[in-house]
Every structure is written in structure tokens, then in C-alpha cells.
Amino acid sequence: IRVDSTTIPAPKASDLKPDEILVEVKAFSINIDDIHVSEASFLGGLPKLQSVVPSLKNLDFAGIIKAVGSAIDANKYKVGLRVCGLNHRQAVFAENGTWAEYTVTKEKSIVPVPDTISFVNAAAVVLPLFVIDGLLEVVRGKIGEKEKVLVVGASGGIGSMLIKMLRAVFADFDLDITGVCSGRNKELVLKMGANCVVDYTKGPIEASLEKKLYDVVFDCVGGTTTYKSSKAILRKGGRFITCVGPEEWIGDKMSSGTEKISWVGKIIWYSVILNLIPGSHPHYHMVAPSEMGKNTFILAFEKEILPYVEKSIPFGDVGTMGEAFKLVRSHRVRGKVVFVI
């Protein structure tokens, strides 16, 4: 991290558009996509991505409403209300970022936070629940009693919360949930609610499962290796649901034009064409949520389904922040990393 003396003016209540809300940020998390945006490698590199410099990065936040625009119901969104939210258009369309003391957001992008939930936990659940709502939408009404579910990337921010949410949403179904992670994270994943754990560092996933067949695989890692293993363990008619896609950790580097075309082609093949072809292959679903699933947030807060936060770091501690960025970039975070203001 390089520190300079550039100052970005704080947004003012008087400058709010009618549909905007000013939030004093109390905490935010670091997500791998945020790092990719800051390095201009998001989705392998998008043309003119956030070309305005300096610009604020990051999607999620938790904080307190400081002011609302004239079109906002001030009785519903009162000044002082604790909220969390996601400016999910920030990565591509330069919506207001949240790595700062204040951010500007919209009503559709925030959810009230109960007093029983800390700002750290509220910030940590935002992106996971945003994605998880999309993952769960695929299987709502389609999961039965005692079905077998595999979560790949079970110790990460999304995967670990997904296990907890599966237990909450399908509480009456007694699901058999297996988490895939490294051996060092076994106890964490079991604590989050998995029945058993597979250590991916010991070889192909399917080799450790002794021909056990699954009904659903949730993929939070991506790539062809995960899909190949999933095909081997999914029953006929099973579902492969990914929030990443056919390329593992896309955005870790800049992609060439040919690589981008190949990536898009794989998405079309797996998620559209292959699903139309009869056969024993699983149904492939690639999830890309576009809106906050507020009911999912409400359920999580009501049941106090909390994330695992590996690190909570003071905003402005440059040395510690640098280490946190390296940790997130390594894809070895247990749960989430959160900055506190």
C-alpha cells in the first residue's frame, strides 16, 4: 500500500440527490474483487475500469445514516439508523466506494442493522449474504429431506456463511453438508455447521468421498478442476451452482482478449447450451446477483447468524492494512477481514 497526501472531499448532505443516503461508515470488509478493481484486473481487466483518479474502492459497509435526500422516507430511514449495505455497481460503474469515513448509497442498497449485531459483523456479512441469496434462490423449493450438499471453499467468507444459512433456511430438512477446505480449517468448517470435511490438499475431492453421491454442489472457488470433481460425485439430475464460474480466481491477473472470449464461451457452454443437452451431466447454474436479497439479511439478523472474522483492523494502520491485503489476495482468509473506523 502506498500512502500519499491526496485528500478526497467528504460528501455533504447538501449535495445529496433526492434518492441518495449519506452514511457515516463504521466498518467495511476487504473482498478479493475490491483488490482486483483497484488493480484494474477485475474480471480479467475491463476497458477504462474506474479511470477517474483518485477514486474510492470497495463495495460493502456498515454504519450510521447521517442524512437523506428529499425523496427518501425520513421516518423509515431516520438519521442515526444503523445500516449495512452494498454499492454493488461500484466495481464497474464507479458507484461510490466505501473505503472512507463516509459513503453515499441508495435505499435499495441498505438494510437496517439490529443493535445486537456489531458493525464489524454487519460489514462482514454483506457481500456473503448478497451472493448467498442468489445461490439459495436456485434451490428454494427444490431441496428435499436429508439431501446431500457439498460446499467447495467452505472456510472462506461466502462458503462459511453459506453453511450456516443452509442450516437456517432448510432447518426442517436435516441436510447432510460436507465442506471442502484445507485441513487447517477443518474445525472452523465443522463449527459453522458442516457434518464432515474434505481436505482438498490431499488429492481430488471425489477420491476422499468413497463414491458418495450428492444432490447439490455449491462452488465458491471456480475452475474446471472443481467442476470435474463435482461431476464425479453428483447424482444424475444434480445441481452444480457456482458464484465464480469456469475460471478459478479470475481477476488475479490481466487476461488477454483471447482468454476473455474463452471465459465467456465457457460460461455460455456450461450454463446455457449444456443444460439443454440431455445426458447424465449435472445442471450448471452460474449465479450473479444484481439486487440485495433483503429477506435473507433479515433472517440472518433475526437468528443472529454471524460470520467468522479472522481479522479486525483499525482503518489507517497502514502496515497492518498492507498485510491484510496480502492475506485476502492469497485466497487463504478464514472467513472475513474487516477494517474498523
pLDDT more than 90, % of the chain: 67
Q: What is the DSSP string of 207-243?
A: GGTTT--EEEEEESS-SHHHHHHHHHHEEEEEEEEES
Residue 6 has pLDDT above 90, yes or no: no
Full-model pTM:
0.91
Residue 134 has pLDDT above 70, yes or no: yes
Q: What are phi and psi of 246, to 5 degrees?
A: -80, -5
Only one residue has cell 452514511, namely 23
C-alpha cell at 164: 450456516
Residue 31 and residue 58 in contact, taking contact as beta carbons nearer than 8 Å: yes
Report the SS3 class of residue 107.
helix
Give the model confidence (pLDDT) of 142-182 as tens digits.
998 999 999 999 999 999 999 999 999 999 999 999 999 99
Give the model confidence (pLDDT) of 20-75 as tens digits.
999 999 999 998 888 887 777 777 776 655 555 556 678 899 999 999 999 999 99
Residue 90 has pLDDT above 70, yes or no: no
How far, in Å, CA of 235 to CA of 272, rounded? 20
